[in-house]
């Protein structure tokens, strides 16, 4: 079975009559079955995908197929799809069937994408390893003893292992870019307000953003072009039509750009020496190619993780209050009366990490602590944004590592939540400030595992980010 690493490759084979959408789906289903041990999927919609593939094959013959005809895609289990189950990998939503489709799903389907299933993730997207799912941990396909990253680990594994051509994930603090780094694929978090959050089960509403996993930048650009743009259901969106990312990808002049790298990121004690060396080599290569690459100071890096966790847990405390065992989701069989229904249903339905973050968020919002934590966190967020904007007044892009190390062993950070939280040290700045960021699989460690190099661009400048990323990926090959 051939694994198609790009939509363009698959379309060429379909046009030549060497394969079909039905055959593609059949091969993906076969690979998913052979790789069940990875636990990438919580549910596979095989029969439905095959029927949809048959219908799309007919549309291709009629010349009426959409832009994504031939793309087999997976969606993270916190993205709603009408009449399909969605649980955010939590017992509290076990068996829940969505009453509507998210905007991103509707837009994928309108362009004839084939959605093959929903992928495993850390419960309510709270985690950096996909060990926190209520159902099963997802294994890294490159080394089954190691985590795939999180929270969108199932989506990253689906793409890396050839179980789907692309996948959607969500990124609140690094949940696309970190697993992309660990699994060796391309992962992009768009600007906050670029992609509709309608139909995304909320973790932290001012941070959450839907993005993509792919094997190449061109597919990322095409999917992003389709799922972006204004939506009447999401008032936080930039009210403009989506840019033609895929069409304009190669029109952008990326020959001589000014790139900043955050010097504090390369000076951190916890950064793997080989990743540091890989970043330094990338910097040297860019300089040889004629780009201006200079160090800049971002002295607030040590405050990024604390700021992120104060603000996101506060928002989670509010968002997750809707799950009470009353109208839908898990209700404890031992619940008697209103108070017991709330307490027992939530105690049984939420996992340990979700409870920890709800409690932390409730604390920082409580009377007497609100100003000391939440209000101060919002002020720090503004300081971050001002500093990032000042850097972008002089530079086109910012370069830094995606992760401090390669994929770690299962259980390695179980006893130390702070150590696990620090896995996000390089990824949280982008969602704190609302800017787009991408992880590119440009490095390989001596342990055989991949690591990503991260780029960030000014808000709503995904085109420059994608164009330069495509340039780097092609330079590598």
User: Would you say the C-alpha torsion 257, 263, 264, 269 has a positive or negative sign?
Assistant: positive
Tell me if residue 129 is catalytic. no
* CB-based contact 261:293 (threshold 8 Å): yes
Q: Please give the chain's pLDDT, 477 residues, in tens.
A: 789 999 999 999 999 999 999 999 999 999 999 999 999 999 999 999 999 999 999 999 999 999 999 999 999 999 999 999 999 999 999 999 999 999 999 999 999 999 999 999 999 999 999 999 999 999 999 999 999 999 999 999 999 999 999 999 999 999 999 999 999 999 999 999 999 999 999 999 999 999 999 999 999 999 999 999 999 999 999 988 888 999 999 899 998 999 999 999 999 989 999 999 999 999 999 999 999 999 999 999 999 999 999 999 999 999 999 998 888 889 999 888 888 898 999 999 999 999 999 999 999 999 999 999 999 999 999 999 999 999 999 999 999 999 999 999 999 987 788 888 889 999 999 999 999 999 999 999 999 999 999 999 999 999 999 999 999 999 876
Task: Judge whether 404 lies within some domain.
Answer: no
Task: Judge whether 444 lies within some domain.
Answer: no
Task: Judge whether 425 lies within some domain.
Answer: no
Which of 76, 132, 189, 344 does the annotation list as catalytic?
Answer: 76
Tell me if residue 151 is catalytic. yes
Contacts of residues 50-54 at CB distance under 8 Å and 24 or more positions apart, as own/partner, are 50/22, 50/25, 50/26, 52/114, 52/115, 53/20, 53/21, 53/22, 53/24, 53/25, 53/114, 54/21, 54/22
Task: Judge whether 243 lies within some domain.
Answer: yes
Which of 175, 228, 345, 469 does the annotation list as catalytic?
Answer: 175
Q: Which CATH number fits the domain that encloses residue 111? A: 3.90.1300.10
Task: Judge whether 394 lies within some domain.
Answer: no
Nearest to 308 by CA among 472, 139, 141, 434: 434
Residues spanned by the domain of 236: 7-248
Which of 6, 101, 128, 151 does the annotation list as catalytic?
Answer: 151
Domain count, the chain: 1
Task: Judge whether 128 lies within some domain.
Answer: yes
Tell me if residue 276 is catalytic. no
Task: Judge whether 60 lies within some domain.
Answer: yes
Task: Judge whether 268 lies within some domain.
Answer: no
Q: Quick count: other Cβ atoms within 10 Å of Cβ 289?
A: 15
């Amino acid at each position: 079975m051939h694994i198609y690493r790009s939509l363009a490759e698959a379309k060429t084979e379909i046009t030549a009559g060497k394969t079909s959408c039905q055959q593609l789906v059949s091969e993906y289903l076969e690979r998913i079955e052979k790789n069940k041990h990875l636990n990438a999927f919580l549910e596979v919609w095989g029969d439905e995908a095959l029927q949809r593939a048959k219908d799309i094959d007919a549309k291709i013959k009629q010349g009426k197929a959409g832009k994504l005809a031939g793309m087999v895609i997976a969606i993270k289990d916190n993205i709603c799809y009408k009449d399909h189950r969605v649980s955010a990998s939590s017992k509290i939503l076990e068996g829940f069937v969505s009453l509507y489709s998210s905007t991103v799903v509707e837009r994928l389907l309108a362009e004839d994408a084939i959605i093959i299933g929903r992928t495993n993730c850390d419960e309510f997207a709270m985690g950096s390893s996909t060990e926190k799912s209520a159902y099963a941990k997802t294994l890294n396909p490159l080394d089954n003893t190691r985590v795939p990253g999180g929270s969108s680990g199932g989506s990253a594994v689906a793409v890396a292992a050839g179980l789907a051509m692309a996948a959607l994930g969500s990124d609140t603090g690094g949940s696309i870019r970190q697993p992309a780094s660990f699994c060796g694929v391309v992962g992009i978090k768009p600007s906050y307000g670029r992609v509709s959050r309608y139909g995304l089960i909320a973790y932290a509403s001012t941070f959450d953003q839907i993005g993509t996993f792919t094997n190449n930048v061109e597919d990322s650009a095409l999917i992003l072009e389709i799922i972006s743009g204004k939506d009447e259901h999401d008032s936080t969106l930039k009210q403009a039509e989506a840019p033609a990312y895929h069409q304009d990808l190669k029109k952008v002049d990326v020959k001589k750009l000014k790139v900043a790298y955050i010097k504090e990121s390369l000076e951190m004690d916890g950064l793997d020496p080989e990743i540091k060396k890989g970043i330094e080599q990338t910097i040297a290569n860019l300089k040889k190619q004629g780009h201006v690459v200079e160090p800049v100071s971002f002295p607030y890096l040590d405050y990024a993780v604390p700021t992120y966790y104060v603000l996101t847990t506060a928002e989670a405390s509010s968002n997750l209050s809707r799950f009470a065992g009353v109208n839908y989701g898990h209700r404890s069989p031992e619940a008697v009366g209103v108070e017991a229904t709330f307490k027992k249903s939530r105690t049984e339905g939420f996992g340990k990490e979700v409870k920890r973050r709800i409690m932390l968020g409730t604390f920082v919002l409580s009377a007497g602590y609100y100003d000391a934590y939440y209000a101060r966190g919002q002020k720090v967020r503004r300081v971050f944004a001002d500093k990032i904007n000042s850097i972008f007044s002089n530079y086109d892009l910012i370069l830094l590592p995606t992760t401090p190390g390669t994929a770690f062993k299962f259980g390695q950070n179980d006893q130390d939540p702070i150590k696990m939280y620090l896995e996000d040290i390089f990824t949280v700045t982008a969602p704190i400030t609302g800017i787009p960021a991408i992880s590119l699989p440009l490095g390989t460690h001596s342990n055989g595992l991949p690591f990503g190099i991260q780029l960030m661009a000014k808000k709503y400048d995904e085109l420059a980010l994608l164009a330069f990323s495509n340039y780097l990926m092609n330079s590598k090959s």
